[in-house]
Amino acid sequence: MAKTTIREVEDLISRLAGFNPDTMYLTDFLLTWEKSDSEIQSVFTVADILRGLRENNISPRVFDSGLGISIFRDNSTRTRFSFASACNLLGLEVQDFDEGKSQVAHGETVRETANMISFMADIIGIRDDMFIGKGNTYMRHVSNAVREGHADGVLEQRPTLVNLQCDIDHPTQSMADALHLIHEFGGIEGLKGKKIAMTWAYSPSYGKPLSVPQGIIGLLTRFGMDVVLAHPKGYEVMSDVEAVAQKNARDGGSFRRTNDMDEAFEGAHIVYPKSWAPYAAMEKRTVLYEQNDQAGIAALEKELLQQNANHKDWECTEERMKKTADGKALYMHCLPADITGVSCAQGEVAASVFDRYRVPLYKEAGFKPYVIAAMMLLSRFNDTPAVLKSLVARDSRRVFIP
């Protein structure tokens, strides 16, 4: 994409002021549907501004010291590097909290640990996506603990949280995805009436989290899009999130579900084919893990892999792509994708489709560091437009110029 000019950055700052983003000051970012439309737009706008500043070699460093705590309860490469990049861009140093699972067995310890690691923390980023009913709840416990710690005078500052993926939502992913669409379709207005197929796709692996499809239907329904959630029977997502999508859709867009992948692709402007595990199975799995029922876990895994194997035809093929609008729907994925004949014998997407969309896919991922940095900035400053204006005026270089 073309480099943003300083003039454009200044225009974006003016637009940001119109969203009155102060409501995000000292709030966590846990679920997109807890945020107002103005707040969502503020994040997009600040992300674009931060990228514009960096493109113009203007440092947006707003912290001289301070920690960004990361708690990854699952593996992560993309989000880990995005979080680290965002912290570094703003001047925070990442300190990873590598907790044993036993340490957080009861709320008591969450409360204590949250305070112990937060004495000099401005931001806490958490990924906890594997167990239904747990991840988001854990984040709220941490948030309450540090809010209380601050009120009690234990913490000088109250760190704010960024959800780096939970059992319900993956807001840094869905927001990055949406910002990608905004750029591809010429602004948020350009998304109105566009059809997106968020569809299940076959993968030879098992137990992939639900947070991506849920995040997508919970967010993109806000922009007047026609959102179709497609999956085989038995692969239902959380009904609460479907209800959110339905509610959002009342303001102009639409949301519906189908069990037919072809129907979902028909006339779609965007397709997002991706594997996930059935919600009901993930719930069952959570209980089995709680009971440490290894035999049960193994049996469930076998059952789920067999269930997946019944739907090998759910693949994003060239043939299916032809059904989309002008045969040219934008293909999206959170990466890494299971690519047929490349990363597995049969997977979510045909190699030729994936190859054709490689550059936009990589760009899609590239929005994440800026989206995270925007969430951080908006939660740490109560007059973000003024801060950004001052940063432009300060004109510190990210990279030294002789």
**Cα–Cα distance for residue pair 68/88, rounded to 1 Å:** 9
C-beta neighbour count of 362 within 10 angstroms? 10
**Cα–Cα distance for residue pair 24/36, rounded to 1 Å:** 10
Q: Is the CB of residue 124 less than 8 Å from the CB of residue 147?
A: no
Candidates 315, 318, 311; CA nearest to 349 is 315
Residue bearing tokens 């945020």? 35
Helix 368-380 to helix 78-90 angle, to the nearest 10 degrees? 50
197, containing H or E segment? strand 195-199
Q: Is the C-alpha dihedral spanning 61, 390, 28, 223 positive or negative?
A: negative
Q: What angle do CA 106, 111, 114 make, to 5 degrees?
A: 120
Q: Is the CB of residue 201 less than 8 Å from the CB of residue 349?
A: yes
From the CB of 176, what's the least distance to a second copy, in Å? 11
Give the nearer residue to a second copy in terms of CB position, either 113 or 258: 113
Q: Which two tokens stand for residue 138?
A: 């854990």
Helix 6-18 to helix 384-394 angle, to the nearest 10 degrees? 160
| The amino acid at 114 | A
List of residues 6+ apart from 103 with CB closer than 8 A: 109, 113
C-beta neighbour count of 300 within 10 angstroms? 20
From the CB of 274, what's the least distance to a second copy, in Å? 16
From the CB of 363, what's the least distance to a second copy, in Å? 6
Residue bearing tokens 């674009």? 48
C-beta neighbour count of 120 within 10 angstroms? 16
Residue bearing tokens 């000088």? 156
**Cα–Cα distance for residue pair 63/347, rounded to 1 Å:** 44
